[in-house]
Chain A
Amino acid sequence: MMQRRVVLLCFVVFVGVVVAPRARSETMDLHSMAVPGATLSGFVRDSTTGETLVGATVRLREQPGGAVTNKSGFYVLGGIPAGEHTVVISFLGFSTKETTLRVSEGETRRLDVALVPEVLEMGEVTIEGNRLDDRRQISVGRVNVPLREISQLRVAGEADVFRSLQFLPGVLSSSQISSGLYIRGGSPDQTLVLLDGSAVYNPTHLFGFYSTFNPDAIKDVELIKGGFPAEYGGRMSAVLDLVQRDGNRNRFEGKASLGLISSRLSLEGPVGNGSWFLGGRRTYIDLLTSLIETENSPLPSYYFYDVNGKITQDLSPSDKISLSGFLARDQMDFESKSGLTLGVGVQNRAAALRWTHLFADNLFSDFNVSWSDYSNALENERRGFGGVIDNHITDLTVKGKFEWFASNDLTITTGVEGSRYALRYLQQLGGGSDSTTVEEAPPDIDTEDYVYSGFGQANYRFSGMFSAQMGLRANYYQLRDIVSLDPRVAVRLQLRPDIAVKAAWGMYHQYFRLASVQDFNFFDTWLPTDATVDPSLAVHYVLGVETRPHDGYEFNVELYYKDLRNVSELREFVTQSSAVREVFYNGNGQSYGIELFLQKRIGNFTGWAGYALGSITSQFDELNGGASFRPKWDRRHDLKFVAQYRINARWNLGASFTYQSGQSYTAQTSRYQTSFPGDNQGIGATVPADLYGLRLPASHQLNLNANYHTTLFGRPAMLLIDLYNVYSHRDIWYRYYDTSGDVTEVTDVLLLPIIPSVALEITF
């Protein structure tokens, strides 16, 4: 244990000794190691709101390559030869800005830029640039979904971040009603979901139907499907990094939306030397069901809501501090005529205090203290008898990250992170609900664990054609008392200005496992790695080609292979356990495939077409007789189309189509009857064939939408018209064998038919 701590300590010392002391003084010369030339740095903002823009491109007109703003909207462009240059700043959806300036050798200059949104420029607009321009960026497996597309991809009138991501090739769902992300063979718990740097556990509403993220509150969505860099850790499959909006720094603004299922309201405005944002949404399913008179079978009352809040202040040109909070809750209550009361609650809460500081013009730092709590609870009671489930995972994390833009060719990123996890699970079913009985039953899980991590990564451009990213992440898990090392490498070969070949390899350890029932994200329970199991491990191999076949178009192809070790499947019939091994079956797996992705991000016609051919196989000694099998979410073919067309200033039309191979299911071959001592009837049971050996019919769906821009009470308004599942193809959710009679009925439970919906959105 001592040795392992020493390893970690060395890593932390590296960060502390090499970076922090040098960064203490703003007057230090961090350019001494850099190539000659001048350096520009600063923030890129939206001119109307003052909101920083993530992923904006800054480059010199006469030179290839450039810089891209980070999650805080900060960029550094170095190695600029002395003389006069035209700096081009561009961002999707904004007019490109050009600034001419003269720099001298060794000069460092702050250049903050405000871009004007495209919609405000009614004349000829020049829109260019994307994340290809930063040659230090390797961008393997990385997809940025424009918020504009997300707001158009609606389900029953509700825009949803996760559902939009499911329209990307290689991102699968277990069913059309599940927002869970199955990425390149990984299950939803293997994707790291970050909101302003805070991990969010189980980010779903309506038992998995919607994600908890209100698109109005989000300004950047980045998905890394594999081969992600060392700055991300704790999950083995993918990263979804979301950035909340800071709010309008210039004026008070609000947006209200009235939809079929929920309504949303967001308010934002300037405060002090910064801004604030407060947004929320709530369903009114409970209000609708309460209007329905039912004599003998009352309907359950259900609602969900979420609230995002953020306040941001610039303490100085180099210091920005923000406090953000997030609360999402689902609640279902039921009270039967016979006196049964049932309450089910699922809650996500997160808060983060973040300080970004420029130690120098090319040294960006980010410190974050975050707290995240996920809980679910069930209480049922009937005439004094009841049961309780109370489940929590609470995560308190402190982390610091430094980005040193040493030169136009070299960026070094390093950081440390420490997390305290508190996990508690209490299950008391079938007992008296009087306090004495419950108190007698101790929690099934009540443990604390600490995880410490440190990472370092360097992005270096060896030449105009070749750049590489090398990183190492070290993790120490206190409960298990082990250190894991995750080396990661990515390279990029720019064959031509419009063609790049990329590759990545990396190791990814995952320490926490999720005990969850597929298709029903409710009793999700996170468990740490104890002495009975090893951490899960994935090794990613990714090879991709990134091209721009035509102006405004991107076409990417990625091949991936993922080796999965110590992955888990829930043991369904475990009611008591003292070790993690008793809760899960553990085995190995592999996934591989190819993804083709054609995207048009600019112009009146935008969207993408994607196709993924993938295969997932698992092998567990205790499942399927030890033979390999494909998991339920394996879908061999995955075809997606998303298109948006802006007809004129008033009308936008959109369509999305998805086609996937049918989900796997386990067929049954025969039947028997079993009973227990004293039973007067038997129960019909079935004998399964190969686990997930067959496929249901293919899943496909077409959705249409139209937006009509108008004014209401003199304010800009938008009417949103949606047609979900246009030709009403009802997918099979699941298939079961009904043995209640002598003849076994094969019964398919179908998903949603066509759903038209209308919503109204007004900005004030």
Chain B
Amino acid sequence: MKTTFALPFTLAFLLFTACEDAPPTDYVARPFIQGYLLVGEPIQDIVVALSQPIDQAYDHPGSIVRDAAVTIEYDGRTLPLLFREEVGAGSYHVDDSTVVVLPETTYRLRVRMPDGALVHAETTTPRDLAWVLTPPAFVQYPKDTTRLAATDSLRLRWTPGDNTEFLLRVMVLDTVGYGRYLSPPTVEANARTGGSGSAGGPGSGGGPGSDGHGGSAAINYSVTRWTLVAQDRYQIPWTSFSWYGRHDVAVFAADHWFLQWFKSVQFSRLTPEYDPRESNIVGGLGVFGSAAVLRTGVFVLKNER
């Protein structure tokens, strides 16, 4: 009889004591650094912030550290960086805009946090890029994209340099004005192309490439789309253009850390998790990377013909 009752009691005990582990509450704010040096461009947009606890509402402006001592060293020079509020929630930059990032140069970033902690990282900038196939300034969005051959879309080709993988960014520059860029100018407003999301192109459905939080909202309202390209050429599908009008199309030959950070953020199956193996920040979180960038302006004409 004892045995008969022992089993159900044991089972009941197991079932009702089956609690999960309590989540950790020992949050410690950690410095977060984000900086991308783009060859030929000023040193700017270096973000210094602190991580915030997961169980509280995230306050992005509140995370920004405005009083850190930030310097950058390269070629025997040390430049102080200044904080400015006007870009995003605030970032650091070199005040002299004539100082531009050099190719094939090692830059060292040093951040002294207000509490005295030192955070540092370094990046070596890649070689410059050049177009092999010069992209056209205008592309005509087709009336019927389903019947148009792929090869009729925007084709790009560039010198590979030392990279085997590249990042491609398509950014709409004006989601409002359209006619003002035409010759002669008109008052026609901009409009969406209707081709939201894409397969295999920049901005694939809120996955790698869309710059929002993911999901449909990000697809609809993002102005920037990214994709990883494993060769020195690409054909941008029509559906990568969410808007008509002015676009900036850029190819990034990123250094290892920029590239790995991109993959760890954009290729995460769920919410990106910080992965120290994909980060080069010593003493904190984040990335300090660099890229040689090749840009072209492309105007997408409406499919009105």
Contact = CB atoms under 8 A, between A and B. Distances in A.
Contacts of A431: 200, 229, 231, 234-235
A520 to B, nearest CB: 9
Given A384-B237, A697-B20, A668 B273 contact: yes
Contacts of B169: 676-678
A614 B95 CA distance: 61
A683 B269 CA distance: 14
Interface in A727-751: 734, 736-744, 746
A736 B252 CA distance: 31
B58 A383 contact: no
Contacts of A670: 27-30, 51-54
Interface stretch (B69-77, B121-129, B215-223): B215-223
A12 to B, nearest CB: 44
A231 B27 CA distance: 53
Contact of A680 (B222, B252, B272, B287): B222
Nearest to B171: A678
Interface in A668-687: 668-687
B146 A383 contact: yes
Contacts of A683: 211-214, 265, 272
Contacts of B252: 677
Given A573-B278, A576-B230, A680-B223, A700 B18 contact: yes
A186 B101 CA distance: 50
A516 to B, nearest CB: 14
Interface stretch (A116-124, A432-440, A705-713): A432-440
Contacts of A232: none
A687 B51 contact: yes
A685 B29 contact: no
A385 B260 contact: no
Given A383-B146, A681-B213, A674 B286 contact: yes
A688 B276 CA distance: 10
B230 A383 contact: no
B242 interface: no
B36 interface: yes
A39 to B, nearest CB: 47
A127 interface: no
A379 B26 CA distance: 46
A739 B58 contact: yes
Given A667-B24, A742-B58, A688 B273 contact: yes
A432 B51 contact: no
Interface string A630-670: 00000001010000000000000000000100100011111
Contacts, number: 244
Contacts of A695: 20-21
B271 A685 contact: yes
A695 B21 CA distance: 5
B188 interface: no
B20 to A, nearest CB: 4
B18 A698 contact: yes
Contacts of B165: 575-576
A254 interface: no
Contacts of B239: 338, 382-383
Contacts of B24: 667, 669, 689, 693-694
B195 interface: yes
B271 A673 contact: no
A535 interface: no
Contacts of A669: 24, 26-28, 53-54
Given A387-B199, A672-B285, A686-B54, A572 B230 contact: no
A432 B233 CA distance: 10
Nearest to B196: A338
Interface in B261-287: 261-265, 267, 269-278, 285-287
Interface residues of A, number: 74
The residue in A339, A673, A682 that gathers the most chain B C-beta atoms within 10 A of its C-beta is A673
A639 B11 CA distance: 10
B92 interface: no
Given A342-B199, A686-B273, A385 B237 contact: yes
Contact of B200 (A386, A697, A744): A386
Given A685-B265, A687-B274, A675 B34 contact: yes
Given A384-B148, A573-B264, A697-B18, A676 B226 contact: yes
Contacts of B59: 742
B111 to A, nearest CB: 15
B199 A694 contact: no
Nearest to B23: A667
Interface string B12-41: 001100111111101111101010101000
A676 B211 contact: yes
Given A670-B27, A672-B32, A684-B58, A739 B213 contact: yes
B174 interface: no
Nearest to A341: B199
Given A575-B263, A667-B23, A686-B54, A340 B223 contact: no
Contacts of B276: 625
Given A573-B278, A576-B164, A672 B49 contact: yes
Interface string A423-437: 000000111111001
Contact of B151 (A339, A434, A677, A740): A434
A391 interface: no
Nearest to A744: B54
B109 interface: no
B58 A671 contact: yes
Nearest to A573: B263
A683 B231 CA distance: 27
Interface string A358-392: 00000000000000000000001111111100000
A687 B285 contact: yes
A430 B228 contact: yes
Contact of A682 (B60, B200, B278): B60
Given A342-B199, A383-B239, A662-B18, A677 B36 contact: yes
A681 B265 contact: no
A697 B14 CA distance: 11
Nearest to A685: B272
B271 A684 contact: yes
Interface in B70-92: none
Given A434-B151, A739-B213, A681 B218 contact: yes
The residue in A383, A431, A736 that gathers the most chain B C-beta atoms within 10 A of its C-beta is A383
B105 interface: no
B262 to A, nearest CB: 7
Interface in B139-174: 145-146, 148-151, 153, 164-165, 169, 171
Contact of B199 (A385, A678, A680, A739): A385
A441 interface: yes
Contacts of B150: 383-385, 432-434
A517 B153 CA distance: 35
B248 interface: yes
A696 interface: yes
A293 interface: no
B149 A384 contact: yes
B63 interface: yes
Contacts of B262: 676
18 contacts: A339-B145, A381-B199, A381-B200, A382-B199, A382-B200, A383-B148, A429-B230, A431-B235, A669-B27, A671-B54, A672-B63, A672-B286, A675-B211, A682-B60, A694-B21, A695-B20, A700-B18, A739-B213
Given A622-B277, A674-B34, A676-B226, 10 more contacts: A384-B149, A385-B198, A430-B234, A441-B230, A517-B269, A674-B32, A678-B211, A683-B214, A685-B272, A686-B273
Interface of B: 11, 14-15, 18-24, 26-30, 32, 34, 36, 38, 45, 49, 51-55, 57-60, 63, 145-146, 148-151, 153, 164-165, 169, 171, 195-201, 211-215, 217-218, 221-224, 226-231, 234-235, 237-239, 248, 250, 252, 260-265, 267, 269-278, 285-287, 291
8 closest pairs, A vs B, by CB? A384-B150, A698-B18, A679-B211, A382-B199, A740-B213, A694-B21, A670-B51, A573-B263
